[in-house]
Amino acid sequence: TYPHSARDVFLMRFSYVFPAILVAVLAGLSACGTTNKAESKSEMELRAQSGDVDARYQLGEKYADSTFPNIPEAIYWLCLAAREDHVPAQMRLARLYEDEGQGGGASNGKLSNQGSAFFWYTAAASQGDEQAFSRRASLESEMAATEVAAVKRRATRWQQAGCLKPS
């Protein structure tokens, strides 16, 4: 029936316009999400630099898992978290040394990559990580007895491991 009340006209027009408004709002929120991701990475870097262990671990993961990984940066940030009793960082660091053969040994250049992996698996195992026990045993069977002995001596001081900042 015609004529419609002002209320009816408003509701009819709003029903046509609402989907477009909803799409615009959602697109705006999506664009904001992109900005927030970039901001969150810089915030993460600030937290990591100020000593936040979880931020150091997350930053190390980002460097290791990015499209163009930066393994030396990943090792640096993971090492900083790992020496603060962060078991996931210890395990990730050990896997980087074991699987990708990067670094130079517990961040001091004196151990092989295999020895560095053994070093960080030992640290995680000392905190009860079952997978670390298994991986450490597997590596031990592949390593020279002298290197195993050297790593075991050093592994008692894993919290003091040096973490070299890549240049």
* Res 66: pLDDT: 79
pLDDT recorded at residue 88:
97
What pTM does this model have?
Answer: 0.67
**Which residue reads 């040994």 in tokens?**
105
Nearest-angstrom CA–CA distance, 162 and 138: 25
Closest CA to 123 of 160, 98, 164: 160
As given in the structure block, the two tokens for residue 107 are 């961040």
Question: Quick one: which of 100, 99, 140, 101 has its CA closest to 119?
Answer: 140
- The residue-averaged pLDDT of 126-143 equals 92
pLDDT at 102 over 50: no
